[in-house]
Each structure stands twice: as structure tokens, then as C-alpha cells.
Copies of this chain bind each other. A is one copy, B any other.
Amino acid sequence: MNKLQSVWINELSWDDVENYLKKENIVILPVGSTEEHGLAGPLGLDSYAAIALAEDVAKKSGILVAPPLWYGDSSHHLGFAGTMSLNTSTLMAVISDLCESLAKNGVKKILIINGHKSANLPAIISAVKNLHEYSLQNVFFAVAGPMKIAKGIASKIKDNIEHHVGELEVSHVWYKYPHLIKNEKLSKKGIDYERIFSQYSQYDLFGKSGDVIDIPWNSKEQKAFAPDGSFSDSSQSSPEKGKEYHEYMVNVLVNFISWLKTYKGPIGNS
């Protein structure tokens, strides 16, 4: 690799970044998790998803990427060995500190790519909302992740209900990091959402949901209702599905960055 052309800030020297910021002002921050993903998926699955998206989008868009945050808000998975979770308030502080650092040296637009479905979102959304209101009013923030940017394609690819350790997130990592999926151990059935969480459960994170009432569960309960860690039937996962899913999301994000490059803030005045 030509060391001057890496998209990863960690591989560059400070003057490389300073030079980049003379021409461009966007940086991507990938946020993952280290939490159980069943018997077939690696503990770092969400991080790999964020890293893969960030890197490919960055290369296509000519944008830099900050080093990945391998840890997220995974307390509900702490019943399984290897899960390592940040408290919600800690994750908020981490996101806040990293964005403050980027802003201090001239980054004006920060795109956070969250690889961990919904559980990281309260912390990330809160952090950037408060930064944008109170300390970094002139920095633009955007938060994107598979759960929300693959809505347009998910139902066309997948064959099953997608929740934790679902067919799509497994396929995604299988495509990009094939040695990390133990495909012989993919789960063949999902949990019974309606019995566990009432009829008002958002059982398919990518599906057309009906009325939803949110019910948090804790790590002990999760171990009871999903003993092997998987919530979903992922048996029809494949690298091919992962490729289609990945490329669709990369495309969404590349389009977004094209828009963002031309955007002149503040929001509403562009």
C-alpha cells in the first residue's frame, strides 16, 4: 500500500491529515461492538461491518476514516463470554471526545458509521445532538448504519426475519471476512418474539413494522430466551447475499457523501 494513500488516519502522519483538510473536511468514524453473535459469528461482527463499510466508502469517496471503536453498548449481551460493553454514558463520552478532537483541527463534517444495529444509537445520537447544540454548532453530524440504510434492499435479498445474528449481518461479514464465519453453525430458527415481547414486538428490524412497544431485556433474560446467542434464522446466509447487501449500502453512503461535499451549512441554509 502506498502509505500516503491510506484512508486510515492511524496509518498517516499528522501532516498528511493536515494536507487532506486543506481540500476536504469530512471524516468517517466507524463504531462497532464486541458482543456475542451466536455460535457462527465472531464477537467483533458489528465492528467488522462498520470497518468494511467505512473503508470501502472512504476509498470510493476519497475520504479519511478514523480508527475503529471496537466497543459499543452491549450490556444486554453480557451473559455470553467475550462480550465487552461500554456503559451508555461512557459511549456518549467517547463519541463526544473523538468528535471534539476532529473538530479542533478543522474537520467540519463527521459521518459516524454504526455497525451495531440499534443498541449503540441512543448513545451516539445523544452525543452528536448535544455536541451540535452546545459546543460544535458549526460541525455537521450524520449517523448511518445497516439497519436504516439497507431498508430499500433488505427485503429483496433476505429470506427470513432479521434480528440479532440475522441472515444479512452474517452474510455481510461472510462476504468481507470469510474466515470469521463458522457457517456450519448457523442457526436454523429464530426466537418466538410474540410470546416473549407481546404482539407489539418489532421482530423484523428490516420489515414493515406495525405498532411497536419497546421492551428492554437484560443479559440474564437473553441467556434464557436465546441460549446460543442467536435470535434469528441465519441458515440462508451466503457471501453472495452479503455482497449485494454491502454494495447497496456502500452506494447509499457514497451518494450521501456526494451530497455532503456540496452541502454548505448551517442546516436549512444550504
Contacts and interface: CB of A to CB of B under 8 A. Distances in A.
Interface stretch (A123-131, A156-164, A236-244): A123-131
Interface string A73-111: 001101011111111111011100110011011100000
A43 B10 contact: yes
A71 interface: yes
A84 B66 contact: yes
A174 to B, nearest CB: 12
B84 A102 contact: yes
Interface in A153-210: 179-180, 182, 185, 191, 195-200, 208-210
A66 B220 contact: no
Contacts of A214: 125, 142-144, 148
Contact of A41 (B13, B75, B229): B13
Given A82-B105, A149-B213, 18 more contacts: A9-B44, A9-B84, A12-B43, A13-B40, A15-B81, A20-B81, A66-B84, A69-B71, A81-B105, A88-B92, A122-B129, A129-B216, A132-B217, A140-B215, A196-B270, A221-B266, A224-B269, A226-B268
